[in-house]
Chains A and B, each alone.
Chain A
Amino acid sequence: MNIDYSKINKIIINKPLKLDCGETLEKFDIAYETFGRLDESKSNAILVFHALSGDQFVTGTNKVTGREGWWNYVVGPSLSIDTNKYFVICANVLGGCMGSSGPKEIDPKTNKPYGLNFPVITIKDMVSAQIHLLDYLGIDKTLCVLGGSMGGMQALQFCSLFPNRTYSSVPVACAASHSAQNIAFNELARQAIMADPNWDSGNYFLSGKVPRNGLAVARMAGHISYLSEQGLENKFGRKLQEGEGLKFSFDADFQVESYLKYQGYAFVDRFDANSYLYITRAMDYFDLYKLNNGNLSKAFKDTKVKFCIISFSTDWLYPTEESKKIVIALNSIGAKVSFVNIITNNGHDSFLVEEPEFFQTLKGFLDSTYEDFKNENSR
């Protein structure tokens, strides 16, 4: 894979960002991309938050990796998030590895990569950083903030922190707090990375030897959690790689094994192992319940934001029940909330793949919300 980081757009924010951990970033970078055009009344801006392994290259070709954007099914001309109609913004999260400040970037104090000297960040920190991007782009209020998985968590956190900065929100396939199971899976991934001798306590940038195996295993573990049992069964079953029977070895006999390996090692080229530690940690710390003394409704008190919560029936990482809890919390304070649970075999990954009912739900919500928002802005 040809990786070319020179094509990243970024802004430098020269304002201190106070982090949840108590430290302050005196200045920080936000790498971002935009798609489509901002209309005159600034009513059509949509801020997309990416998930754990995503980046700012939502659609089209990823300028760094040369691969397709991660949400090509959803964002683009005439798609659910229609770039002929909407101005789509996406930034690399704080702690990420696509140009925003993170462990891979240079620490201005030492002129060396941060590595583990980068402060531990939270979902709240990520969202607080991105509000500066909206300010920079001159957008007071977005039409919608949305995302799947960790992107959905950021959307929820955004609405809680900055209720007046968005008209609507679509948190997809997410939860208002990370469950023990979620934390366990992330810890498995972190342990895999840290067990790789190349990791070298996060200092692998000194030796130049990347903890490839650790990161690949971490990614494989993640991948299993993104798919449903039925989905795996349908796609692979017990099908063998060569079709010649068992090899009585530990090579990849089964197709599912080679699929996992492929996914794991393809990831290593484009992702930073330390970033994986930081971002999974941020997800684990996410708990809107605790932040509001156990009462999730408090997170959205008096909110005017129009919500559309979407879950997927076979998502066992962020089960439908978790989305329903958010719906109940919003309902109980009279918020404008809609909810759809899409029936599918695609598990947590559903939001990233061809899922027509999801596309239709999202499109219907966004298009009608846009009409309302435009009317409100013209009044």
Chain B
Amino acid sequence: MKIQDDVLAGLIEINSKVLDVGCGDGNLLLYLKKNKRIDGRGLEINQKNVQECLGKGLAVVEGDAEKDLINYPDRSFDIAILNQAIQQFYEPRKVLNELLRIAKKAIITIPNFGYWKVRLNLFITGTMPITKTLPHSWYDTPNLHMSSIKDFYNLCSLDNIKVNKSISISSNKISDITSNNMEVKNLISELGVFVVSK
């Protein structure tokens, strides 16, 4: 998703040290390396993906964030990225807090379960929603902990995590999320992008 890469790139300063957790095939890291000259690292559980990353010249470790983040020293990165992966962890809360130990800031993106199409899908069909950003059936989805934008905000306030910036992406439209427009954005956003810190 090009627009999403642009949004993320816009949140990252030139020459930052970046850890992309669940970096997939490494396209985002490569994009940031080219456009923001980042010093990037990746952590990825799928070996095929890691191999692709290595072919792109990226430094990526095959591993499981829930087990391996503990090995990264405190504040060793400027930014940690968790791009549409937080919902796939057994303990998303723990992972989020780990990222903020390792990096000064974290950028988290979530597929928004509060999006109206998701709500409508469940409301009308009475079955678990299947949409563009949530393409899996309930029985084979990697997504264990779905949340809405509002849910994510609530977790942050529970854990004293500062939300420095939050952005809504919907049908390629980008807008800021504020406490005033929260209810609306929670309804109309496909994706939420958050810059958080402690």
Contact = CB atoms under 8 A, between A and B. Distances in A.
Interface of A: 306, 308, 327-328, 331-332, 334, 336-343, 357, 360-361, 364-365, 367-369, 371-372
Contact of B57 (A334, A357, A372): A372
27 contacts: A306-B59, A328-B71, A331-B61, A331-B71, A331-B72, A332-B71, A332-B72, A337-B59, A338-B53, A338-B54, A338-B61, A339-B50, A339-B62, A339-B63, A340-B50, A340-B51, A340-B62, A341-B47, A357-B47, A357-B51, A360-B51, A361-B51, A364-B54, A365-B55, A367-B55, A368-B54, A371-B57
A156 B73 CA distance: 22
B76 interface: yes
A334 B53 contact: no
A256 to B, nearest CB: 31
Contacts of B57: 368-369, 371-372
Contacts of B50: 338-340, 361
Which among A337, A340, A369 has the highest number of chain B CB atoms within 10 Å? A340
B112 to A, nearest CB: 33
Nearest to A329: B71
A339 B61 contact: yes
B47 A364 contact: no
B62 A364 contact: no
Which among B51, B54, B60 has the highest number of chain A CB atoms within 10 Å? B54
A308 B54 contact: yes
A340 to B, nearest CB: 5
A341 B61 CA distance: 10
Nearest to B72: A331
Contacts of A360: 51
A98 B58 CA distance: 38
A131 B62 CA distance: 32
A375 B58 CA distance: 15
A231 B73 CA distance: 38
Nearest to A337: B59
A360 B51 CA distance: 7
Contacts of B61: 327, 331, 337-339
Which among A331, A334, A340, A341 has the highest number of chain B CB atoms within 10 Å? A331
B76 to A, nearest CB: 6
Contacts of A332: 71-73, 76
Contacts of B17: 334
